[in-house]
Structure formats: structure tokens, C-alpha cells
Amino acid sequence: MPAFHKFFLTKPLADAFRKNVSGSKDGLPDWARDIARGDDPGLFKADGAVWKVHGNLGTLVGGVRALLLQAAHPAPLAGVAQHSRYETDPMGRLAGTTRWLTITTFGSMEVIEREAKRVNAMHSKVSGDYIDKAGAHSSYRAQDSRFLLWVHCAFTDSFIKSHLALGYALPEGGDEYVSDWAKSAVALGLTNAPKSMAELEATLNDFRMKDLARSERTLEVVGFILRPPFGKTGLLFYRIIANAAIATLDKNELEILGLKPRSKIWLKLARGALNIFSAILGPESPSQNLARQRLARIS
């Protein structure tokens, strides 16, 4: 691994990935600076389950997994294909998702509410038609409760399962993470999010039986997710992250997405690479540091 570090995982590569994910190589795009604003702790307690999962570089694996998992549902997939800029600016879409996730995790209520309004305004414009699992023509709206529930569950499942599969500690357990993160969905209009790992799995099983299916755009979108516009070295690292994400997917989702199972060895490779990135970038993200500054100011 030392040679791997010297010739492959470097500070410029780490900065490039942070820029692709957040929009800024120092991890502090303009919107992130608002995390220091406000006079309250926000939705989640410092160093609780949500902070531990989302403040960890394992979110890189979880983020890729979430994008893949969402592609297994034909309605959100149609929304992505018809309304997002994934073909021309796939990293811009990822940075937008990172913005909501980061602000909701570490921001004050004032900043979280403003971010939720931004996301809700975007969702209000997203609607269209798709072919459902039964082959019938159906319509979707991004603000439909079923649509919101799926997206929330895909993210929740991806981040907690990736965190645990990579071997990161979570003394509070998965139930606390799932229960706490359910609060994030309320401002987006979802009030029935799962509150435990068991509820989450039961909800996912319901989607597997009733909703998940391959559409004509599935393989195309999966291809974009697995081949982002990185340089050769960046793609080598991304391949490790993506294969680790695929290694955690359910057999049903793999079949829908046209993916072959991946060995768990990819999780070990990803953990080693992320450990090195953590050593390069520091133990906590700039956003988390800003949240700590706010908490110290109001305490």
C-alpha cells in the first residue's frame, strides 16, 4: 500500500475528487460556508450516528451506490433522464446532491429550511411519463410520496450499508442512523420514512416486488454512472469505489442494473484507499469543522 500511496493516491487526486463531489477542491464551495450560520444545533447531534456516517469518506462508496440503486426504479430513472443534466454534467448533479446532504447533516435549522425550499422548488418542476414494472404507461411527479420514499430509502440504505460493509465503526448502530436520518425527509414532504433497519429492509422489499424493473434507459444511465469524465488515474480510483459499491447491492438490483456480482475484496481495497485519502485530507471535512465552530459559538 505505501507504493500505491506514492504513485496513485496523491493530494492533487484527492483535491480533484473533492472538487467533483462538492464543487470545490478545498471542500468549501460558497454554499458550504453557510453551515457556520445560525444559532441552533441543527437536526442532528454532534458526533451522533448521522454525523459519523456522513462525515466519513465512506460516503463516496455510498453515493455511487445510491445513484446506481435509484436507477433500478423506472420512475426516478425517467426523471433523471428527462430533467437532469447527467449526460452533459454528471458531476454537477452529484455536487448538487452533495450540497443537500451536507447542509442537512451539519447546518442550522435556518440553513436547512432554506436548502429544503431550493430542493422542493426543483422537485416541483419534475414530472413526466414512464413505463412501470407491469409494462403500463404511468406518470410521475418528483413530489409524489412514493417517489420521495424510494429516493430516501435508496440513499439511507446505501450510506448505512456502505459504512458498515467498509468496516467503519458505528457504536450507535444502524437503527439510530435510520431513525435520525428520517428527520431529513420531513422538510421535503415525506413523513413516513422508515425508523429502523428492519423497517428500511421491509420497505425496500416492497419496492422490489412492486416497482423495481429495468427500463430502456437503465443500462445507459448505469453506464454514465460507472464511467464519469475523470482522467485515467481518477478512473482507476473510481473503479475501486464503484466496484465496492456494487459489492453491497442486492441480487435483485444487480440483475435489474445489468451488473455482475463483485467480490468483497473490493471493499477492502476501497477501505485502504479511503484511509489514505483521509490521511491526506484530514479526519474531518471542512463542513464538519464549520459546524463545530457554530456549535462552540452558541454553547
Q: For the chain, what percent of residues have pLDDT higher than 90?
A: 61
Helix (H, G, I), strand (E, B) or coil at 165: helix
What are 5's three cell numbers? 500511496
Tell me: pLDDT of 2 over 50.
no
Model pLDDT for residues 24-33, shown as the tens digit of each residue = 666 678 888 8
Domain boundaries, the chain: 2-298
Cα separation, 153 vs 200, whole angstroms = 7
Model pLDDT for residues 46-60, shown as the tens digit of each residue = 999 999 999 999 999
Of the listed ranges 83-97, 133-147, 165-179, the one predicted with least confidence: 83-97
Q: Average of pLDDT values for 16-29? A: 67
- Residue 98's H or E segment, with its range, is helix 90-106
Model pLDDT for residues 228-281, shown as the tens digit of each residue = 877 777 788 899 999 999 999 999 999 999 999 999 999 999 999 999 888 888
Cα separation, 270 vs 103, whole angstroms = 26
**In this structure, is the dihedral angle defined by the CA atoms of residues 158, 161, 164 and 167, taken in order, positive or negative?**
negative
DSSP state of 130: E
Q: Confidence class of residue 116 from pLDDT cuts 50, 70 and 90?
A: very high
Contact predicate 135/66, CB 8 Å: no
